[in-house]
Amino acid sequence: MGTPPHCDEPKAEEPIAMCGRYVAATPTEVLVEWFGVEEVKASEAEVPPSWNVAPTREVFAVAESRSAGTRQLGSFRWGLVPSWAKDPSEGARRINARAETVATAPTFRKALRSRRCLVPADAFYEWEKVEGQKKKQPWLVKRADGDLMAFAGLWEAWRDVEGKWLRTCAIITTDAAGPLTDIHHRCPVILERDEWGTWLDRDTTEPADVLPLLTPPEPELLELHRVGTEVGNVKNDDPSLLNSL
């Protein structure tokens, strides 16, 4: 999931670098059970399913309530806006955080200490450069075991001049592994179930306690399928995008 040079909302027919698109179509009630969620924000119970999630869209993420210590499922705008940002549009350039620098980067280091989350995903997309061709070949990447992915994420809360709060998130990336390395050199950090508790625990504030979790996936974890170029257009958003070529 390497951050592209410009992570603004993708133009039509413009695939962007990973992680710039993913699939989040699992029903809310399944997410609640899968992640052991104890509370769903009433006003945020419905984030529409999407087979082509793009930056700046509303997405689901799982985080821990500091006051109650419970797991909550809520909506966040994809593209982290630091609390000190002057304008929320800055989040469009911050959809990814690199595992190698997340503990020191001014944009992400505070969130790493106290505002970590899990971003549920069914799969993600990556684009392969094809020699002699201008267009890239899109690939769908999912877990070989069929389970949901839990991307390591960070979240922030930003308040405008009128006092309205905006919650945003970013997905952490690391080195690719296995067959994905033939397509792209970066990959989202995919946390396993036994790592979720540590990652979400807001009483764990030392980077050294969570950074060891930000590792490349096991080579056999992921499987790849070539898909059609329709996914390159953010206006296309339906299950047919997942069809293998």
E-strand spans in 80-197? 96-98, 116-121, 123-128, 137-143, 149-159, 165-175, 186-188
Q: Rounded to whole angstroms, how far apart are CA atoms 156 and 170? A: 9
Closest CA to 222 of 138, 137, 100, 140: 140
Q: Which residue's structure tokens are 């992570």?
A: 7
Check the CA dihedral 166-87-188-135 and report its sign: positive
CA distances from 200 to 150, 161, 165, 188 (A): 12, 30, 21, 17
For the annotated catalytic residues, the residue numbers are: 19, 126
Amino acid letter, residue 84 = W
Contact 40, 73 (CB under 8 A): yes
